Amino acid sequence: MSDGPRIITAHWGDERVIPYEGYVRVGGYEGLRRALAMSPEEVIAEVKASGLRGRGGAGFPTGVKWSFVPQDTGKPTYVVCNFDESEPGTFNNRELVEREPHQVLEGIAIAAYAIRSNLAFIYCRGEFLWPGSVLRRALEEAYEHGVLGERVLGTDHRLDVVLHRGAGAYICGEETALLSSLEGYRGQPRQRPPFPAIEGLYASPTVINNVETLCFVPHILRNGASWFTSIGTERSPGTKVFSISGKVERPGNYELPMGTPFRVLLEEHAGGVLGGRALKAWTPGGSSTPMLTAEHLDVALDFESVQQAGSMLGTGAVMVMDETDCMVEAVRRMVRFYAHESCGKCTPCREGTWWVSRVLDRIEAGYGRPEDLPLLEDLVPNLLFRGFCPLLDGAVSPVASGLRHFREEFERHIEERRCPFTGRGSATGVAEPPAPPAPQEPAPGPVPLSEVLG
């Protein structure tokens, strides 16, 4: 495995850093201590200078976001840590929390100090039972050791952190839906503006950051902004924890400097494509980012370069597909995910993802019609950027990029009336025409926990 600085995964594998004492032994809470010795404005300035950009998908500069928070509204301010990590292919938040839970708590504490907040929330994905328990334990320790509570590390600063467990909706990772959910409403996105920094939780100024973003903050405070900017690229400084999965020899999380070529991640770290087969497609940032192909092996993994290549860095979740993978099936599954997770609020997403999903079901099952491809190609621009929130754009990405790069695979499905990879389809009589699952009407009322947990 190649070298390069590891910042937030440096202690991975060392279980001693999970409890409070171990974390402190490796320098933990030093960043918070430094921050508390500075003024909140100085903390924001330092984070701004570091150029840290949000790792939750959009890459918005973190310090800038913090500086938007007004201090004169007479309302409280809040910090929310987004730990809803649900984007297919993305799994670094989970490991960051499991392996070093105090790191993200320290980041939260610094953010709270910077925006003068006394109450922070962690929105934990519903299915994350174990990571949630790890966090709960760490929170207890932090209170015991005076990191949280009335006097943060003995100062006058007060901070409480509330762990909130979601109920299993991808959309609740979207920041405004998250806020609705946290307030006890349906998890559906809200109108922006006002942006959360101005009117967020309970209509009060709120900073929302991803777990990974917050993990960098203590290190920036400890080592200084210029140290951070010396890593990565000029406009995407620092490292990134890439989650690589799919057809690779060694799937997992790898922390590499921003700008590392995809080839290095794939070949040097993930051990190359599984079984030495040829690379067909990969997502640079989760299933919502347009797929790239083998032609893009040398794309550098930073916000700008990936965008230039026609996709987005997103969450840095790389899913690798090889030459034996059916792209129609891949696209079908991804769209199905979004159709299932669409919150239902807006028409194009609710109805459009349902429609596209049905059409793809048919094509994969060998019931495609020649007019289905022009239909899909016509639907793409009528869905892209037409939703209330970006979930719909994520749903369109695999379709658009699938058709762009692999149209002939779709055509073969239709011509051969079967899937060329599995051989199943109407032509061979193996597959039934897909019956769309009619939405069931569950009895209203509480769902038993056993059903939620499966």
Partner 1 sequence: MSREPVTLTIDGREITVPAGTLVIRAAERLGIEIPRFCDHPFLAPAGACRQCYVEIEGQAKLVTSCTTRVAPDMAVRTQVTSELVRRAQAANLEFLLLNHPLDCPVCDRGGECPLQDQALAFGPGESRYIEPKRTYRKPIPLSPLVNLDRERCVLCARCTRFCDEISGDRFIELYDRGAGERVSIAAGEDFRSPFSGNTIQICPVGALTATPYRFVARPFDLSSTDSTCAHCAAGCAIRVDVRRGKVVRVLARDDVEVNDAWICDKGRFAFAAPDRPERVTTPLVRARGLEPASFQEVLGEIAARCRGGRVGILVGGRLADEDAYALSKLARTVLGTNDLDHRRAFHGGRAELLAAARPMSVTYRDVEEAAAILVVGLDAEQELPILHLRIRKAARRGARVFVLHARRTRLHDLGEHLLVRPGHEAFALERIREALAAGGDGPEARIAAALAEAGERAVVLAGPRLAEHPLAADVALGLAERVGARFALCARRAGDRGALRAGVHPTLLPGGRRVTDDVERGQVEAVWGPIPAEPGRDAMGILRAAAGRELDVLYLVGVDPLRDLPDPALARRALANAGYTVIQGLELGELEPYADAFLPAAAAAERDGRVTTWEGRPRPLRAARAPLGLSRPDWEIFVGLAEALGADLGLGSLEAIRAEAEPLLAPREVPVRSSAWGAAGPPQWIEERVLFTYPLLVDEGRLLEGATELKAALEEEPFAEIHREDAEALGVADGGWVRVRTSAGDAVVRARVGETVAPGAVFVPFNQPGLPVAELLAGRFTVGVHLEPAAEPAAEEVA
Ligand X SMILES: Cc1cc2nc3c(=O)[nH]c(=O)nc-3n(C[C@H](O)[C@H](O)[C@H](O)COP(=O)(O)O)c2cc1C
Name the residues that contact ligand SF4, by CB under 6 A: 171, 189, 342-346, 349-350, 387-389, 391-392
Residue 4: other Cβ atoms inside 10 A: 13
Q: Name beta bridge partners: 119.
A: 78, 160
In terms of CB distance, is 153 or 178 closer to partner 1?
A: 178
Q: How far is the CB of 60 from ligand SF4 (least distance, A)?
A: 19
Footprint of ligand X on 85-114 (CB under 6 A): 85-87
Q: How far is the CB of 170 from ligand SF4 (least distance, A)?
A: 8
In terms of CB distance, is 46 or 175 closer to ligand X?
A: 175
And the tokens for 366? 């060998």
Q: How far is the CB of 139 from ligand SF4 (least distance, A)?
A: 30
Answer with the entry of ligand X, ligand SF4, partner 1, none that 82 interacts with (C-beta below 5 to 8 A by kind).
Answer: ligand X
- Judge whether 366 and 418 are in contact, CB under 8 Å: yes
Measured over the CA atoms of residue 25, residue 27, residue 32 and residue 37, the dihedral's sign is positive
Answer with the entry of partner 1, ligand SF4, ligand X, none that 85 interacts with (C-beta below 5 to 8 A by kind).
Answer: ligand X
Residue 408 to residue 224: CA distance in whole angstroms: 51
Which position among 82, 239, 243, 289 is part of the footprint of ligand X (CB under 6 A)? 82
Q: How far is the CB of 294 from ligand X (least distance, A)?
A: 28
In terms of CB distance, is 35 or 169 closer to ligand SF4?
A: 169
Binding window for ligand X (CB under 6 A); candidates: 10-18, 22-30, 104-112, 170-178: 170-178
Binding mask 183-222 for ligand X (x = CB under 6 A): -------------------------xxx--x---------
Q: How far is the CB of 240 from ligand X (least distance, A)?
A: 12
Per DSSP, the three-state class of 394 is helix
Residue 446: other Cβ atoms inside 10 A: 7
Q: Would you count residue 84 as binding ligand X (CB under 6 A)?
A: yes
Per DSSP, the three-state class of 382 is helix
- Judge whether 190 and 69 are in contact, CB under 8 Å: no
Binding window for ligand X (CB under 6 A); candidates: 23-31, 82-90, 154-162, 267-275: 82-90
In terms of CB distance, is 350 or 407 closer to partner 1?
A: 350
Q: How many CA atoms lie within 13 A of 343 on its CB side?
A: 26
Footprint of ligand X on 30-69 (CB under 6 A): 54-58, 60
In terms of CB distance, is 88 or 259 closer to ligand SF4?
A: 88
Packing angle, helices 101-114 and 211-223, rounded to 10: 70
Residue 240 to residue 262: CA distance in whole angstroms: 13
| Chain residues in the site for partner 1 (CB under 8 A) | 169, 171, 186, 191, 339-348, 350-355, 358-359, 362, 371, 375, 379, 382, 385-388, 435-436, 438-445
Q: Would you count residue 387 as binding ligand X (CB under 6 A)?
A: no
In terms of CB distance, is 169 or 281 closer to partner 1?
A: 169
Residue 54 to residue 233: CA distance in whole angstroms: 15
- Judge whether 327 and 281 are in contact, CB under 8 Å: yes
Q: Would you count residue 255 as binding ligand X (CB under 6 A)?
A: no
- DSSP for 108-144 reads HHHHHHHTT-SEEEEEE-TT-HHHHHHHHHHHHHHHH
In terms of CB distance, is 177 or 414 closer to ligand SF4?
A: 177
In terms of CB distance, is 317 or 431 closer to ligand X?
A: 317
Answer with the entry of ligand X, partner 1, ligand SF4, none that 60 interacts with (C-beta below 5 to 8 A by kind).
Answer: ligand X
Nearest residue to 343 (alpha-carbon basis) of 285, 287, 388: 388
Packing angle, helices 30-37 and 101-114, rounded to 10: 10
Residue 11 to residue 18: CA distance in whole angstroms: 10
Measured in whole angstroms, the distance separating CA 222 from the mean position of its chain's CA atoms is 26
Sequence-ordered strand ranges (E) for 176-258: 206-210, 239-246, 252-257
Q: How far is the CB of 418 from ligand X (least distance, A)?
A: 34
In terms of CB distance, is 130 or 385 closer to partner 1?
A: 385
Nearest residue to 8 (alpha-carbon basis) of 28, 32, 36: 28
Answer with the entry of partner 1, ligand X, ligand SF4, none that 439 interacts with (C-beta below 5 to 8 A by kind).
Answer: partner 1
In terms of CB distance, is 443 or 449 closer to partner 1?
A: 443
Answer with the entry of ligand X, partner 1, ligand SF4, none that 207 interacts with (C-beta below 5 to 8 A by kind).
Answer: none
Decide: residue 340, CB within 10 A, 0-12 exposed, 13-18 middle, 19+ buried.
Answer: exposed
Residue 182 to residue 200: CA distance in whole angstroms: 11
Binding mask 389-428 for ligand X (x = CB under 6 A): xxx-------------------------------------
Residues at the contact surface with ligand X, assessed by CB under 6 A: 54-58, 60, 82, 84-87, 171, 173-175, 208-210, 213, 389-391
